[in-house]
Structure 1
């Protein structure tokens, strides 16, 4: 059975790590965070699964009940949010060019092929190279530091100036950098990569602006070899009623790039191999409510589910109050 790790915070603030396999879940004694467990495993030169096994079993936990009680956190964090990097890659999934190309086609009507379609086709051709070989470079974007990462049931807050707050159902890779600069993949998490699609559609050169938004992770970190096929559902609820729902696919079998190629083109930069840092990298999607003309409203709830994860990521949409920023001359 696949091992899943979760982070729990009790009502009095005490934190614990939970291990889950199948329907059974229990506290992992001796560790308050998954990051601490991972650093221990690296120091001992063992796998995360072996570190969990060596720690023994604490009290049993009903993770579904803890999820509904809002006591499960994102499955990775850091005491200093500046040491968490949120990044991602787009146009990585089979079919993902269709929605993007539709957004950009009108703006680039004079071109025979948009930049998005060119990048997608280049990924199809060279995104899955042989082991040890660098393949085609993907689209890459920055979302922010750990202050932008929210938990599985927390609100996703769009800035007051945002033109849109739209879901992106994805799988994210979770990483930590060892003392010698080696990146370690801890596992995969279900994710809502949350973007401003109206801003992006206005001009694709504004993609960088559209991605500077919060993102949410589901509570479970899927440990071990990533599944080749992940199938899930993304939906939006308004006043308790489903207003939009659509299946989505992920995993390498449904992608134009391999995880290894996406990881190579991220961690090839020295600044992303700083010892102790945490990275959450979003692998992209081909499914957006925006492509179907849906306009999310404040109070709507995004819910994303996908096996082998057993719990969803479920976040209400909020808009922040306006902030006046005045730069002062010193």
Structure 2
């Protein structure tokens, strides 16, 4: 039975961790966060599933009711949000180059291969190396720290200066760096990586700007071996009606890179192996409403569902209100 971990805040404000399987869900005694639970498992030299089993079962939980009540949190956080890094890799899925190529083709000679297509083909050729070998490095981007992560039901807020707020349905790896600098994968979560595709389309060198946005995680972390094939549905609901809906695929069977190769090329940098840090790494997608000509609006709701996750990820789109009609002033000291 696959184990899923969730974070929960009770009616009185007390935080806790929920362990869920196909047999049901119950609280995990003795811990108040997944960060704490994972740290204890590392210290005890055991896997998370074994640690949870040793901890025993607390009170039973109805996950559907807790989600509806808004008491399920993002499934990972850090006591110091600046010590959580949100990053990701793109052009990693079979077919993922198509949408990106459409964006960038307008700025390139139709007879010349875009840099996006070249990078995708390099990954297709070298992104799944033999065991023990290092494969082609992927595109990489930075999104922010833990202050930019939101949970199920929370608004995804685009900056006031944003050109677009678009969904990106995908999987995210959740990691805790152990005391000796070893990255430990806690598991995978359903994610909406959320980007500004209009800004990116203007010039692909603005990808870095387009990614400095919030991101959302579904309520569950799937523990154990990652599934090779994941099928889901991404949709946008406007005024109570489905505006756009499309299936999406993920998992290594549908990717041009292995997870191990993507993980290596992230954690090969010593600065990303600082003990006690948490990393949320978005693995990419091939399905975007923007590629189908959809322009989102404030008030739209993003909905992402995929097995083997039992619960959906839903987030409304909002826009920040800070003034952008004058430059940000820097004071000399």
TM category (shorter chain) comes to over 0.9
> CA offsets per residue over residues 205-232 of structure 1, 9 Å max, x none?
0000000000000000000000000000
Q: 5+ unaligned residues in a row in structure 1: which ranges?
A: none
Quote the offset at 1:111 in angstroms. 5.2
Q: Could you tell me how far apart the structure 2 residues matched to 1:11 and 1:210 are? A: 37
The residue that corresponds to 2:312 in the other structure is: 312
- Unpaired runs of 5+ residues, structure 2, are none
* 1:12 CA displacement: 2.3
1:327 matches 2:330: yes
Q: CA separation of 1:297/1:52 partners in 2, compared to 1, >3 Å: closer, same or farther? A: same
Cα RMSD between the aligned structures?
Answer: 0.8
| 1:95 equivalenced with 2:98 (yes/no) | no
DSSP-derived class of the 1:257 partner? coil
Question: Residue deviations 1:31-75, cap 9 Å, x none?
Answer: 100110000000110000000000000110001110111110111
**Secondary structure of the structure 1 residue equivalent to 2:260:** helix
Match of 1:62 in 2: 62
Partner SS, residue 39 of structure 2: helix
TM-score of the superposed pair, with normalisation by structure 1 = 0.99
- Describe the SS at the equivalent of 1:130: coil
Q: What stretches of structure 1 move > 2 A for 4+ residues in a row?
A: 322-325
* 1:4 to partner: Cα distance: 0.3
User: 1:130-163: per-residue Cα shift (whole Å, max 9, x none)?
Assistant: 1121100000000000000001110000000000
CA distance in 2, matches of 1:121, 1:110: 17
Residue of structure 1 equivalent to 2:216: 216
SS of the residue aligned with 2:130? coil
Q: Distance in 2 between matches of 1:136 and 1:233?
A: 29
Q: Distance in 1 between matches of 2:19 and 2:110?
A: 54
Matches within 5 A, 1:1-330: 1-109=1-109, 112-323=112-323, 325-330=328-333
Structure-2 separation of matches of 1:323 and 1:228: 45
